[in-house]
Amino acid sequence: MMKGKRRREDIAVQRIERLFELAQAAEKEDQDQRSKRYIQLARTIGMRYRVRIPRQLKMQLCKGCYALLIPGKTARVRLRGEYIATTCLRCGMIMRRPYKAPRAPSSRR
């Protein structure tokens, strides 16, 4: 039973990764609607099979309109004092990520 669930989750993550690749290709060809649809499908698969979108891919999404963020095309990236500010050029949402390395896990758990 567990083996089947793990397999479904692995397939779901592979499909999500593939849809992100297709979205990037569509964005380069100025097919905004197609790119948006691929991202929508990837999010739907993630919700249906209860798998997280991998962190590297999630950082490429706008948190406001879920557009694919490509620096210079759909996003503006600025380096600030302690964080990286990414601005979506579609909706204007600003996402901030710190420079520093992630903290070590807490020992209280």
Domain boundaries, the chain: 1-58, 61-102
In words, the CATH class of domain 1-58 is: mainly alpha
Residues 6+ away with beta carbon under 8 Å from 7: none
Distance (Å, whole) CA 8 – CA 106: 31
Count of beta carbons in the 10 Å neighbourhood of residue 90: 17
pTM of the complete model: 0.83
Predicted confidence band of residue 6 (pLDDT cuts 50, 70, 90)? very high
Distance (Å, whole) CA 94 – CA 96: 7
Count of beta carbons in the 10 Å neighbourhood of residue 26: 19
pLDDT in tens, 34-77: 999 999 999 999 999 999 999 999 999 999 999 999 999 999 99
User: Which element (helix H / strand E) includes 87?
Assistant: strand 83-88
% of the chain with per-residue pLDDT over 90:
78
Q: CB of 45 within 8 A of CB of 37?
A: no
